[in-house]
Chains A and B, each alone.
Chain A
């Protein structure tokens, strides 16, 4: 299986956007080599600003640029982009509904051996609870290319989350994505697996394993956490009535919670959530951490059996 870097895709599409539109600006906080914006600096030096290790200032500067019609992309790691600059995002960007984008690499457990200080497992929950904010995590390299472009084209604040480690390629360059619309990537009738970001591949693997056991699982890539595609969730409820959510995030407040909200208000259907069990993880290789903290296809299969009472 081929793997490609989602942060590389971000760096590449950012340059394409920069070429097409001189309103695209980039603000970094001393980790541009790591968030892959370096090329943008070479191509458009007058629209790229590395303001140093000062994330709160970065968010404020982006807000100021956005008031004049520029489209700034703040580029940093997920922990800093969601938490260090949080109140600036909330009050200087989202409250006035300014057109600034926060694009972060190192989401979830992907910064593996850096450890919990660098693993953002709270950011989905935090970002989706801010009014006006759109929250997106693409499922692979090609999805990043399309969704970053869509985020640049829409008006308003967007939080875009990528991975540090490269992740399996599941799409082709021809696949299309729409912000706010889940993507059904595998049909099935017995159970619905709804996943986001780096967990979409694990969901596909689990569906294959279930298939071998005679269970037909559908897989939905819910790349947009907010606004959540309630329609596709309701379709799943009507079709299978059994939903498993999968996310590289705390079990609290992320995709599982968002989908549970829809299911609860619908009044039918069952949900099981796969995510990090409300604990800080640890240093270690990303794939080993996924296994240890239950973010793998085996655990999805276990949850599926639970819900199907097998």
Chain B
């Protein structure tokens, strides 16, 4: 695919993913739409282009790993896995229900295609460091991608992990920070500011890229560029909008962890597919 067609294809897939996310959360009447929608574009670029994975063989040893450190937004990953046929698409309607393989937060033992169990914020990057060290030790080419929230950066463990990744020169470890400026209780800047974010990661010894997390062209280009980085872990700081794609959710704190009602659901789907 040439790069123009690729971007167009990924943008189309991102729409489908957003629709799947809303469908899932609406049917569960529970879950976290805001932060799922803000990472929909990067998740699409990873699963539909960048990752070296095989849906028929989810435990393939050479596969790229993805850790959703901000585990509450698992509908975004479940949606991508369903679209990639890791499991039957209809299973998305079992989200958060009893006897389901799709838990409220990611469970690697239950859901095919998940590489790590998460949901308690701040723990994912350390696990990514472990996977990346193992890849180096085993001389395997796979990479480990970790998705973090901006509120999540308030957890001290994130910075302990950041130090260790730099110490071990883990250029096979990529952290995405979803800077949607919101957490549960309000704006990150009001609750406990983590800014400036880019210099923090630079000071911790990472190679840092800052992009518009909803610009597919920029995402694709950056995912190419990072392949040239040697000897340092890579951090991609993505400026995003929480709830992106659904006008009444965009930048509105209460949509962190609330499901839409029927009327809201219809509006959301109409806007996403427009």
Contact = CB atoms under 8 A, between A and B. Distances in A.
B185 A282 contact: no
Given A28-B185, A50-B185, A113-B28, A283 B103 contact: yes
A53 interface: yes
Contacts of B271: none
From A50, A282, A289, A292, residue with most partner B Cβ within 10 Å: A282
What are the 3 tightest A-B residue pairs by CB atom distance, in nearest-first order? A52-B192, A284-B98, A117-B119
Interface residues of B, number: 30
Contact of B99 (A31, A34, A52, A284): A284
B183 A283 contact: no
A30 interface: yes
A54 B185 CA distance: 13
Interface string B91-106: 0000011111011110
Interface of B: 28, 30, 71, 96-100, 102-105, 107, 117-122, 151-152, 154-156, 183-185, 188, 191-192
Contacts of A33: 184-185
Nearest to A84: B120
B156 A53 contact: no
A31 B192 CA distance: 13
A115 B96 contact: yes
A31 B98 CA distance: 25
A79 interface: yes
Interface string A235-247: 0000000000000
B192 A115 contact: no
Interface residues of A, number: 29
Contacts of B98: 282-285, 288-289, 292
Contact of B122 (A53, A282, A283, A292): A53
Interface string A214-234: 000000000000000000000
A285 B94 CA distance: 12
Contact of B97 (A28, A116, A283): A283
Contacts of A289: 98
Contact of B104 (A30, A53, A79, A113): A113
Contacts of A53: 121-122, 151-152, 154-155, 183, 192
29 contacts: A30-B154, A30-B184, A30-B192, A31-B185, A33-B184, A50-B185, A50-B192, A53-B152, A53-B154, A53-B192, A54-B155, A57-B156, A80-B120, A113-B96, A115-B96, A115-B119, A117-B105, A118-B105, A282-B99, A282-B100, A282-B103, A283-B96, A283-B100, A283-B104, A284-B96, A284-B97, A288-B98, A289-B98, A292-B98
B105 A115 contact: yes
A84 B162 CA distance: 19
A115 B71 CA distance: 11
Contacts of A80: 120
B65 to A, nearest CB: 19
Contacts of A28: 185
A177 to B, nearest CB: 31
A2 B155 CA distance: 39
B104 A54 contact: no
Nearest to B121: A53
A28 B99 CA distance: 33
Contact of B120 (A79, A113, A282): A79
Nearest to A113: B96
